[in-house]
Chains A and B, each alone.
Chain A
Amino acid sequence: MAISDTNATLRHGESRARRRGLAILGFLLTVATTFLGLLAVTFFIGRVVPIDPALAIVGDRAPAHVVERVRLELGLHLPLYQQFWIYLKQALSGDFGTSVLTTNPVLTDIKRVFPATIELATVGTIIGAVLGVPLGVLAAVKRGSIIDQIVRVIGLVGYSVPIFWLGLLALLLFYAKLNWVAYPGRVDIVYEYSFTPVTGFFILDAAMQRQWDVLWDLFRHIILPGSLLGYFSLAYISRMTRSFMLNELSQEYIVAARAKGLSEARIIWFHALRNAAVPLVTVIALSYAGLLEGSVLTETIFAWPGLGLYITNSLQNADMNAVLGGTVVIGSVFVGINLLSDLLYRTLDPRTRSR
């Protein structure tokens, strides 16, 4: 038996390297086609938008001949496929053009606004995961109990409430009435010029520069939108945690662990959760990706100068370069996070590691 065992591993070993090579190739192909698709779809949407891009550049009141000249400059008279080809070439060399709205290169803009979105999404995900996972575990362990019902209702309400509406009401309560939190925005204008962002992640910057008052102000700004997003990811995470935990708790190895005489706490928090963690990582990563790309409405409500707001603004101003660039960035982040969660999955699950 031992012999046949090693034989099998040997045979598998031969093809493993090749299969890994194929997997990487496949992944690269996925990324490439996804990018191409993203670029194509956004580009054509951009061209169909019934807004004259030239108008966006010269403004509402420009005389006709000025508009016409800009149209020529933009190459809008060329056939669509040529325009796309030009755009593709530029995009592939990392040049998404200049945003007409901000007059900066799109990449510069994105470098500035994206950290804000990441910061917000990260806070949201942390809140969601730190609260959601234990709640989900609790609900699974006490299935059918009142706790389970409460967690379920919390989750369902989270799925059901319009975020922009909740955000409005929260602002009304916590800012207008109670004045506990700061005005929508990322940081108070007072600090805008007294502290220098380095990484673009203000919280990190402020902490590193030991600007505690700035940090406090940042906290007062992020807490409301962060909690709001956190609530939404909590709803999702707790739900999924519950279902994964239920699945794990019904497995035979849990019975075996009990047969070993382990305590319930260890069985739940160590054995079951450790196994549930494997798919949970993907869920959390997905929810993180969702927050990164889906915080358009939150950013609108809370005047959060992030990518969502940037894209929405650009869209409304026919700033197609910015829209395209932003979309491609979000798309690549999505693909990247998927890849990352895949890798994490692999490290967490020994079964996928050596296969």
Chain B
Amino acid sequence: MSIAETPPRPYSREWLLSDRPSSRRQARLGRAYVIWRRFSENRLALLGLLILLALLFVAAFADVLAPHNPLQGDLRNARLLPPGADGYILGTDDQGRDILSRLIHGSRLTLLVVVLVAVIAAPVGLIVGTVSGYAGGWVDAVLMRITDIFLAFPKLVLALALVAALGPGIENAILAIAVTSWPPYARIARAETMTFRNSEFISAVRLMGASPSRIVLRHVMPLCLSSLIVRVTLDMAGIILTAAGLGFLGLGAQPPLPEWGAMIASGRRFILDQWWVAAMPGFAILIVSLGFNLLGDGLRDALDPKEAGQ
């Protein structure tokens, strides 16, 4: 290995890929760059990223992008128009509202659901899992019993029951999905923690005299994080689908909110003659959750070279 005589220009490729970084930042950026390179080799993953960036963009600029008012329709004149008619690119629904505009505004709801569920469920799962895995003993037993109970519940039924109990609405749907989606994270985090728990590098940290909380927080959690991120990303699709399923059963977002699942549900009535009313939001869901899946898949390969077999 030759030692570079002249240090590479900061932020250049060489600088990032240098195997003797000279600062913490360079090391961190270098690592990120390597992951990015591995990730970006995967075309499908890039496609997924693109889809999600597009989703973010659409959500951010929904007001500008939407050609019509998503909530006010023209019942009398513009009901159930086919795609393309009268400037309604994707047609109109049974209230005479522009489907495209509703889809555009609905992206916000989708993002909201996804982000909130991730923000609620993932940390809960991570904490429960790592604590339980690291502590072992009765802490583990109690936490895992609770996890088991939630796992044994039929997911959608529990979500249904919760929404029925709390009343329909997007917030409650989010809560219900979050309540049903943390146990798998806890399981993963626990399993991973258990493999690390007896590993030598954790033993080494213990030998430094680190307290259990420090070990869990600073050493175990970061390790579980990448597989958790992958899992959460992959689960996003499932979350979107569950939210849509709740919406479909009428328990998600209330009308007139343009939630995609609820849009399918209301479009379902016209599927025979006006297929687009139900088909369009379905495509939107498919594309976005495919985006998340592609991204998660790419992340898995990039973050976990073993899984990708590289």
Interface residues of A (CB under 8 A from B): 30, 33-34, 37-38, 41-42, 45-46, 48-51, 143, 149, 152-153, 156-157, 159-166, 168-169, 172, 176, 243, 246, 250, 293-294, 296-297, 300, 308, 311-312, 315-316, 323, 326-327, 330-331, 334-335
Chain A residues with Cβ below 8 Å from B154 are 293-294, 296, 308, 311, 327, 330-331, 334
Chain B residues with Cβ below 8 Å from A176 are 272
Chain A residues with Cβ below 8 Å from B146 are 37
Q: B293 touching A293 by the CB < 8 A rule? A: no
Interface string of B255-299 (1 = CB under 8 A from A): 000000100100010011001001100100110011011100100
Chain A residues with Cβ below 8 Å from B294 are 156
Q: A38 touching B153 by the CB < 8 A rule? A: yes
Distance in Å: Cβ of B83 to nearest Cβ of chain A: 16
- Give me 8 A-to-B residue pairs in the complex whose CB atoms sit less than 8 angstroms apart, sorted by A's number: A34-B148, A48-B165, A157-B290, A162-B261, A296-B154, A311-B157, A323-B157, A327-B153
Q: B271 touching A160 by the CB < 8 A rule? A: no
Q: B285 touching A162 by the CB < 8 A rule? A: yes
Beyond the given A42-B161, A168-B264, could you list 20 further A-B residue pairs with CB under 8 A, ordered by the A residue number? A37-B149, A37-B152, A38-B149, A49-B164, A50-B165, A156-B290, A159-B289, A162-B248, A162-B264, A165-B264, A168-B271, A246-B307, A293-B156, A296-B157, A297-B156, A312-B160, A326-B157, A331-B153, A334-B151, A334-B154
Q: B234 touching A330 by the CB < 8 A rule? A: no
A30 to B149, CA, bound (A): 9
Known: A34-B152, A37-B149, A172-B272. A161 touches B161 (CB 8 A): no
Q: A156 touching B153 by the CB < 8 A rule? A: no
Distance in Å: Cβ of A295 to nearest Cβ of chain B: 9
Chain A residues with Cβ below 8 Å from B268 are 168
Q: A156 touching B149 by the CB < 8 A rule? A: no
Q: B156 touching A143 by the CB < 8 A rule? A: no
Chain B residues with Cβ below 8 Å from A159 are 234, 237-238, 289, 293
Q: Top 4 A-B pairs ranked by shortest CB distance?
A: A37-B149, A293-B154, A165-B282, A160-B289
Q: B278 touching A168 by the CB < 8 A rule? A: yes
Chain A residues with Cβ below 8 Å from B234 are 159
A33 to B146, CA, bound (A): 9
Chain A residues with Cβ below 8 Å from B289 are 159-162
A261 to B244, CA, bound (A): 53
Could you say which of A45, A149, A294, A334 contacts B156, with CB atoms under 8 Å apart?
A: A294
Could you say which of A41, A166, A294, A296 contacts B149, with CB atoms under 8 Å apart?
A: A41
Chain B 134-191 residues near chain A, CB threshold 8 A: 145-146, 148-149, 151-158, 160-162, 164-167
Which of B153, B264, B272, B279 is most buried by chain A, counting CB atoms within 10 A of its CB? Answer: B153
Distance in Å: Cβ of B249 to nearest Cβ of chain A: 7
A139 to B285, CA, bound (A): 27
Is B241 in contact with chain A by the CB < 8 A criterion? Answer: yes
Which of B151, B154, B279 is most buried by chain A, counting CB atoms within 10 A of its CB? Answer: B154
Chain B residue, CB-CB nearest to A307: B154
Q: B165 touching A49 by the CB < 8 A rule? A: yes
Is B44 in contact with chain A by the CB < 8 A criterion? Answer: yes
A188 to B269, CA, bound (A): 23
Q: B249 touching A169 by the CB < 8 A rule? A: no
A143 to B279, CA, bound (A): 34
Chain B residue, CB-CB nearest to A39: B149
Q: A172 touching B271 by the CB < 8 A rule? A: yes
Known: A143-B309, A169-B279, A315-B160. A161 touches B293 (CB 8 A): no
Is B70 in contact with chain A by the CB < 8 A criterion? Answer: no
Chain A residues with Cβ below 8 Å from B106 are none
Q: A33 touching B157 by the CB < 8 A rule? A: no
Chain A residues with Cβ below 8 Å from B293 are 156, 159-160
Could you say which of B161, B167, B248 contacts A164, with CB atoms under 8 Å apart?
A: B248
Chain A residues with Cβ below 8 Å from B158 are 41, 327
Which of A45, A46, A308 is most buried by chain B, counting CB atoms within 10 A of its CB? Answer: A45
Q: B249 touching A312 by the CB < 8 A rule? A: yes
Distance in Å: Cβ of B73 to nearest Cβ of chain A: 22
Could you say which of B152, B261, B271, B286 contacts A335, with CB atoms under 8 Å apart?
A: B152
Is B96 in contact with chain A by the CB < 8 A criterion? Answer: no
A250 to B305, CA, bound (A): 13
Is B245 in contact with chain A by the CB < 8 A criterion? Answer: yes
Q: B167 touching A293 by the CB < 8 A rule? A: no
Q: A30 touching B237 by the CB < 8 A rule? A: no
Known: A153-B44, A156-B294, A172-B275. A330 touches B309 (CB 8 A): no
Q: B149 touching A34 by the CB < 8 A rule? A: yes
Known: A143-B309, A152-B297, A243-B307. A296 touches B156 (CB 8 A): yes
Q: A331 touching B248 by the CB < 8 A rule? A: no
Which of A149, A297, A316, A334 is most buried by chain B, counting CB atoms within 10 A of its CB? Answer: A297
Chain A residues with Cβ below 8 Å from B261 are 162
Known: A159-B237, A160-B290, A169-B282. A293 touches B157 (CB 8 A): yes
A143 to B309, CA, bound (A): 9
Known: A34-B149, A293-B157. A162 touches B245 (CB 8 A): yes
Distance in Å: Cβ of B157 to nearest Cβ of chain A: 5
Distance in Å: Cβ of A5 to nearest Cβ of chain B: 25
Could you say which of A30, A51, A153, A162 contacts B282, with CB atoms under 8 Å apart?
A: A162
Chain A residues with Cβ below 8 Å from B278 are 165, 168
Chain A residues with Cβ below 8 Å from B282 are 161-162, 165-166, 168-169
Distance in Å: Cβ of A260 to nearest Cβ of chain B: 23
Q: B148 touching A315 by the CB < 8 A rule? A: no
Distance in Å: Cβ of B132 to nearest Cβ of chain A: 14
Q: B264 touching A331 by the CB < 8 A rule? A: no
A162 to B272, CA, bound (A): 19
Chain A residues with Cβ below 8 Å from B264 are 162, 164-165, 168
